[in-house]
């Protein structure tokens, strides 16, 4: 009995000793943002170990909410999902920018993200990966018809289009219908009105849709097999498909692609902040950032990483985004609380419509 | 008179094995016919062919003169009492007995009356509402028979229905079954491996072995006049000797046993000198005596020592070892004459040639 | 001695009590409390029945609720109709090796995850999938046929997923049915249908009821199959619960839905037992 106690104590002390020098970093992130080779390099250099959990915006927030911000040491929700949940549930802790090497970030992006993730004068997030969503289509079959989101409802493509039944679709359609939903973020009545318009359009459009896709792989399969010729999706999806079929690519819609930035945030009950800062500083180095771009397909907020990016990806990016299209990107502002309830009701009604 | 059941040249093969090999028999109306044989002899196969669960490879089955080969089991005028009775556990006794009548589309009140009648006849009135598992073994037995009899089948098949009962109940049910058969006045075809069941109840018994009928006859026929060594050995007890024929005088034979004894017996007439043969003598055919002189009118006489006394009331036996070292079983008459006999006593035994039956072969 | 036995008893009971308490009872109480409150503003909640009121008055939620219930009952019925002959064949007609092989065949799909199984169906049923191509090759269709994304595809998926859970209890009860009881049914004049109705089904009733309860629960609680195979019109109650919890961050309404589902399944199981005149103990023991 005594012996085991002693052994346990020794083990505990050893364990404590180890945490002082090297931590376990529990990372809640997206697929592709923490490729194995990067994790290996990081573990080798710093002595920390990394446990990666892949997720998406909604699940990240739900997970953190369920534990009051515990269970993970670093998370990567989109920048528009930080303010609302923080005010509502308090699941993040302030980020100490002085512990980061600011020179690694593209200054404009860092400033914009910090501004968008500030609650009560405290900064909660810094940018990591950014990208857009717009139209992925087979240009040979749908290129003449589809110029904007609403063109997905063109009868010529009946049964051959797909989009998600989620908020980006609502926002995209709102822009394509000539509205500016972002400007109406603070005006609930106006926002409701816009959403009603979108709901009518989506309901009308429903018969044109083959299926509402829910996972990236599902959409890739639909596009690759030719069952779907035009869809609303992320830019990377289109570029990946472009490798298999030169006709398929990402096109920025006329009303503008929707820009998102995935961030780094510290969950409120994270236990390895130092390791988290180490990770951020590590992956923002241009060479490492380029490796993440290669794995995720999206560019990062790392200054100078573009030089290390693959030429092919850069070419695709330039083909999809002429200068005016870049200027036209609609960056998601933080979502005020309450809007999601309006959106949720719209999505429910569209799903239930016949 | 047309027999109730007739099987003609019935053959059933399963792959390479022949389970039933050219069997023919007739069962006259109202009789109790048993098929007796060791397990695996093919008797159950015959039964299942008659019931319609198996199709014969060749041959014909006729009931009241008409072939039933093309009649499915649920249409045959034959019913079966299964080995484990196969009462329907999910139904009450009344529903069990009424099952067949419901299938015939009989009216409810008529069914109820018939069921009550049947329960009356089997001596269990008023148990209709009970569940199957509330009955004793003997009661279940009677219900199983009643369940078939309400359908008034031409032939009732019984597949070792007493096998699951304990000894005492089995003895009792033997008598009761015979009484039920008389009561219902139906032809019973009864399968068993227990010779006492067959002998007690049957009008006619067929002894079956390895897919064939060895002999068909009354109990007395089989017991006293077996026609094959199998029947002689299977029905009742017998002392046996093997040897070679030395002399033939009409039906009378003399055989030299392997141990060197000369024995006289009655043969079937096809044996001649030098043939291998086997003699069967029942224990109750052998007489015991204190001296050789008392046995002078017996054809075969031996002297031996009592090695064991097997007391079993009226069926008591003694084991006698003869000079050649062979042990014989001899019935011990309960007349008091041998009451004081002890182990080791020297006795004289003898039997008549007419009661020693000789068959060819035996090697 | 006595106290030793008591300690043993307590030790044996502890995992069960912990399991029940920590994983079942406490979370349910928590859910109940969450469902009984309403969000007022950031981090401020008040007790209220607003969620139940919303759930019971919003046509969409009610429609989805009933649709899920009816479809689950239907899926259970179809599974029973398909599984019964299969189970009967395995239990009564197949012998030795064949019996084992057939049983394994029922089991093999469950070696892979539900996701993979569902993807398998998607490969078969999709417009550019196997069946569509076969039909075109055979000349039965002159253009690709889309068989995915409708209620029938969803039903196929649900039945397939539930099959094993119906076959196993049925095989177990049918195996205990003495062959001679079935033969007796025929011998006494019964036809195939009456033997099935009066003898085989009553005997198999415990298996049928427990199989149906399990399959119904599985269908009702299924999430993947309806979302992946059902397509744009698929509305499944679990999907709504997921949406409320994860997508909308509306735990209050999600918890309310969860409780509605719990009540619904309890009522239907109770009804099923009442209908067949069985008790839960008989069926599960």
From first to last of its 363 residues, chain B has per-residue pLDDT tens of: 788 899 999 999 998 899 999 999 999 998 999 999 998 899 999 999 999 999 999 999 999 989 999 999 889 999 999 988 899 988 999 999 999 999 988 999 999 999 999 998 888 888 889 999 899 888 898 899 899 989 989 999 999 888 777 888 888 888 888 888 888 889 999 999 988 889 989 999 999 999 999 999 999 999 988 888 899 888 888 898 888 888 888 888 888 888 888 888 888 767 888 888 889 999 988 988 888 888 888 888 888 999 998 888 888 889 999 888 888 899 888 887 787 888 888 889 999 988 888 888 755
**Per-residue confidence band for A5, with pLDDT thresholds at 50, 70 and 90:** very low
Quick check: C249 and A340 in contact, CB under 8 A? yes
Separation in Å, CA B182 to CA A100, B121, B169, B205, C205: 107, 12, 20, 17, 40
Tokens 């009860």 belong to residue: C173
Q: Identify the chains in contact with B, defined as 3+ C-beta pairs within 8 A.
A: C
**For residue range B143-190, what is the model confidence (pLDDT) as tens digits?**
998 999 899 899 999 998 887 778 888 888 888 888 888 888 899 999
Q: What residues contact residue A27 under an 8 Å CB cut-off, 6+ apart?
A: A34, A50, A51, A52, A53, A72, A73, A74, A75, A76, A279
What are the structural domains, with CATH classification, of chain A?
Answer: 2-130+260-322 (3.40.190.10), 132-259+330-352 (3.40.190.10)
* Residue C44 bridge partners (DSSP): C41
Contact B88 C181 (CB under 8 A): yes
Confidence (pLDDT) at A19? 44
For C133, phi then psi, to 5°, come to -65, -40
Cα torsion A118, A119, A124, A127: sign: negative
Instruction: Please report the pLDDT score of residue A39 as a whole number.
Output: 95
Cβ neighbours of residue C233 closer than 8 Å, sequence gap 6 or more: A351, A354, C149, C150, C151
Q: Tokens 């997206």 map to which residue?
A: A30
Contact exists between A and B (3 or more beta carbon pairs < 8 Å): no
Beta bridge partners of A249: A137
pLDDT score, position B237? 86
Q: Which residues of C touch B84 (CB under 8 A)?
A: 178, 180
pLDDT grade, residue A2 (50/70/90)? very low
Taking a contact as any Cβ pair under 8 Å apart, which residues of chain A between 116 and 175 contact chain C? 159, 165-166
- Written as tens digits, the pLDDT of chain C (285 aa) is 567 778 888 888 888 888 888 888 888 898 899 899 888 777 778 888 888 998 888 888 898 899 999 999 999 999 999 999 999 999 988 888 998 898 888 888 888 888 888 888 888 888 888 888 898 888 888 888 888 888 899 999 999 989 999 999 999 999 999 989 999 999 998 888 999 999 999 999 989 999 999 999 999 999 989 988 887 777 889 988 988 888 888 889 999 999 999 999 899 888 888 887 766 666 655
Cα A11–Cα A13–Cα A19 angle in degrees, nearest 5: 105
CA distance C57 to C108: 44
**A-C Cβ pairs (cutoff 8 Å, strict):** 67
Q: Which domains does chain B have, with CATH numbers?
A: 5-232 (3.40.50.300), 237-360 (2.40.50.100)
| pLDDT the model gives residue B171 | 86
Q: Is the pLDDT of residue A15 over 70?
A: no
Residues 218-257 of A with CB under 8 A from C: 218, 225-227
- Interface check for A210 against chain C (CB to CB < 8 A): the answer is yes
Beta-carbon separation of C148 and A354 below 8 A: no
What would the pLDDT profile of B46-103 be if each residue is shown by its tens digit? 999 999 999 999 999 999 989 999 999 889 999 999 988 899 988 999 999 999 999 9
C249, A65: Cβ pair inside 8 Å? yes
CA–CA distances in Å: residue A90 to residues A48, A137, C71, C108: 27, 40, 40, 47
φ, ψ of residue C49 to 5 degrees: the values are: -100, 15
Q: What is the pLDDT of residue C282?
A: 62
**For residue A266, pLDDT beyond 80:** yes
Q: What is the DSSP letter of A121?
A: T
Per-residue pLDDT, C17: 87
Nearest-angstrom CA–CA distance, A156 and A171: 24
How many helices (H) does chain A have, and how many strands (E)? 15, 15
**Cβ C189–B103 below 8 Å, yes or no?**
yes
User: In terms of DSSP H, where are the helices of B106-150?
Assistant: 108-121, 137-149
What pLDDT, on the 0 to 100 scale, is given for residue C256?
93
Which superfamily does CATH assign the domain made up of C57-284 to?
Answer: MetI-like (1.10.3720.10)
- Cβ of residue A340 closer than 8 Å to a chain C Cβ: yes
Strand partners, B22: none
Q: Do A348 and C232 touch (CB under 8 A)?
A: no
Of B87, B89, B104, the CB nearest to C189: B104
Q: Which of A73-82, A154-163, A192-201, A297-306 has the lowest mean pLDDT?
A: A297-306
Q: Out of B53, B72, B147, name the one closest to residue C183 (CB).
A: B53
Query: How far apart are the C-alpha atoms of A284 and A278, rounded to whole Å?
Result: 10
Residue C4 is inside which H or E element, if any? helix C2-18
pLDDT at A7 > cutoff 70:
no
A228 CA: distance to closest CA in chain C (Å): 10
Structure tokens at B116: 């009550």
Residue pointed to by tokens 């050789």:
B292
pLDDT of residue A20: 44
pLDDT for the residue A209:
93
Question: Do C and B make contact, counting contact as 3+ CB pairs within 8 angstroms?
Answer: yes
- Best CA proximity match to A49, nearest among A277, A263, A269, A279: A279
């Amino acid at each position: 009995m005594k012996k085991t106690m002693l052994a346990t104590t020794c083990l505990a002390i050893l364990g404590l000793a180890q945490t002082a020098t090297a931590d376990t970093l529990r990372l809640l992130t997206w697929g592709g943002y923490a490729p194995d080779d990067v994790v290996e390099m990081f573990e080798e250099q710093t002595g920390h170990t990394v446990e990666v959990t892949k997720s998406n915006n909604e699940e990240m927030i739900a997970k953190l909410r369920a534990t009051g911000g515990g269970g993970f040491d670093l998370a990567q929700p989109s920048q528009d999902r930080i303010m609302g949940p923080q005010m509502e549930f308090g699941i993040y802790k302030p980020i100490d920018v002085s512990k980061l090497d600011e020179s690694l970030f593209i200054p404009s992006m860092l400033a914009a993200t910090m501004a968008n993730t500030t609650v009560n004068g405290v900064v909660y997030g810094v940018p990591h990966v950014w990208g857009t969503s717009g139209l992925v289509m087979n240009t040979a079959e749908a290129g003449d018809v589809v110029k904007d989101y609403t063109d997905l409802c063109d009868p010529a493509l009946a049964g051959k289009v797909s989009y998600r039944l989620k908020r980006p679709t609502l926002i995209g359609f709102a822009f394509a219908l000539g509205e500016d939903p972002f400007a109406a973020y603070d005006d609930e009545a106006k926002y409701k009105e816009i959403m009603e318009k979108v709901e009518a359009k989506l309901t009308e459009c429903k018969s044109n849709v083959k299926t509402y896709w829910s996972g990236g792989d599902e959409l890739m399969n639909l596009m690759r097999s030719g069952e779907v010729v035009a869809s609303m999706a992320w830019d990377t999806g289109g570029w990946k498909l472009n490798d298999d079929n030169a006709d398929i690519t990402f096109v920025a819609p006329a009303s503008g692609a929707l820009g998102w930035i995935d961030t780094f945030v510290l969950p409120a009950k994270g236990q390895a902040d130092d390791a988290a800062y180490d990770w951020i500083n590590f992956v923002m180095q241009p060479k490492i950032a380029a490796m993440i771009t290669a794995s995720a397909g999206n560019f990062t907020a790392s200054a100078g990483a573009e030089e290390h990016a693959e030429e092919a990806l850069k070419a695709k990016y330039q083909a999809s985004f002429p200068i005016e299209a870049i200027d036209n990107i609609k960056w998601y502002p933080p979502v005020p609380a309450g809007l999601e309830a309006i959106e949720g009701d719209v999505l429910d009604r569209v799903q239930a419509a016949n | 008179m047309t027999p109730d059941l007739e099987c003609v040249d019935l053959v059933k093969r399963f792959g390479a094995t022949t389970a039933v090999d050219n069997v023919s028999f007739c069962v006259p109306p109202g009789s109790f016919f048993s098929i007796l044989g060791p397990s695996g002899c093919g008797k159950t196969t015959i039964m299942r062919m008659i019931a319609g669960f198996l199709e014969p490879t060749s041959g014909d089955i006729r009931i009241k003169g008409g072939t039933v080969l093309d009649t499915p089991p649920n249409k045959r005028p034959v019913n079966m009492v299964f080995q484990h009775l196969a009462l329907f556990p999910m139904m009450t006794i009344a529903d069990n007995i009424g099952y067949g009548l419901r299938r015939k589309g009989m009216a409810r009140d008529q069914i109820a009356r018939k069921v009550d009648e049947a329960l009356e006849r089997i001596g269990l009135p008023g148990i209709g509402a009970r569940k199957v598992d509330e009955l004793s073994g003997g009661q279940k037995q009677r219900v199983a028979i009643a369940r078939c009899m309400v359908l008034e089948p031409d032939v009732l098949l019984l597949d070792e229905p007493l096998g699951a009962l304990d000894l005492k109940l089995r003895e009792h049910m033997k008598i009761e079954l015979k009484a039920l058969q008389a009561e219902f006045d139906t032809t019973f075809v009864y399968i068993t491996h227990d010779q006492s069941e067959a002998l007690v109840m049957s009008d006619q018994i067929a002894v079956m072995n390895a897919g064939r009928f060895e002999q068909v006859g009354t109990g007395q026929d089989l017991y006293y006049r077996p026609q094959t060594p199998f029947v002689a050995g299977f029905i009742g007890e017998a002392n046996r000797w093997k040897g070679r024929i030395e002399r033939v005088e009409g039906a009378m034979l003399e055989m030299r046993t392997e141990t060197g004894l000369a024995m006289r017996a009655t043969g079937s007439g096809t044996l001649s000198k030098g043939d291998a043969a086997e003699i069967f003598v029942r224990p109750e055919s052998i007489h015991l005596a204190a001296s050789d002189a008392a046995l002078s009118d017996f054809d075969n006489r031996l002297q031996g020592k009592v090695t064991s006394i097997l007391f079993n009331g009226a069926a008591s036996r003694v084991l006698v070892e003869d000079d050649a070292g062979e042990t014989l079983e001899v019935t011990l008459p309960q007349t008091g004459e041998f009451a004081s006999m002890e182990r080791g006593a020297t006795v004289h035994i003898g039997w008549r040639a007419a009661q020693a039956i000789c068959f060819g072969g035996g090697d | 001695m006595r106290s030793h036995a008591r300690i043993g008893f307590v030790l044996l009971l502890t995992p069960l009590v912990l399991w029940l308490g920590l994983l079942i009872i406490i979370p349910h109480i928590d859910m109940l409390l969450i469902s009984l409150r309403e969000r007022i503003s950031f981090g401020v909640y008040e007790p209220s029945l607003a969620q139940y009121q919303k759930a019971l008055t919003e046509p969409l939620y009610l429609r989805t609720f009933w649709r899920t219930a009816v479809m689950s009952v239907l899926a259970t019925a179809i599974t029973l109709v398909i599984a019964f002959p299969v189970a009967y064949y395995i239990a009564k007609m197949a012998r030795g090796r064949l019996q084992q092989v057939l049983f394994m065949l029922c089991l093999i799909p469950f070696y892979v995850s539900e996701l993979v199984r569902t993807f398998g169906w998607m490969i078969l049923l999709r417009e550019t999938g196997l069946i569509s191509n076969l039909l075109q090759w055979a000349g039965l269709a002159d253009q690709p046929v889309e068989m995915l994304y409708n209620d029938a595809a969803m039903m196929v998926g649900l039945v397939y997923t539930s099959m094993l859970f119906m076959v196993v209890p049925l095989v177990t009860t049918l195996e205990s049915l003495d062959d001679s009881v079935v033969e007796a049914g025929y011998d006494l004049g019964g036809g195939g249908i009456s033997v099935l109705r009066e003898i085989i089904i009553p005997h198999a009733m415990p298996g049928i009821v427990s199989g149906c309860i399990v399959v119904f629960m599985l269908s009702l609680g299924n999430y993947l199959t309806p979302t992946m195979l059902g397509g744009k019109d698929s509305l499944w109650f679990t999907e709504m619960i997921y949406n409320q919890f994860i997508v909308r961050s509306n735990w209050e309404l999600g918890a309310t839905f969860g409780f509605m589902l719990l009540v619904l399944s309890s009522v239907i199981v109770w009804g099923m037992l009442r209908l067949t005149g069985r008790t839960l103990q008989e069926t599960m023991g």
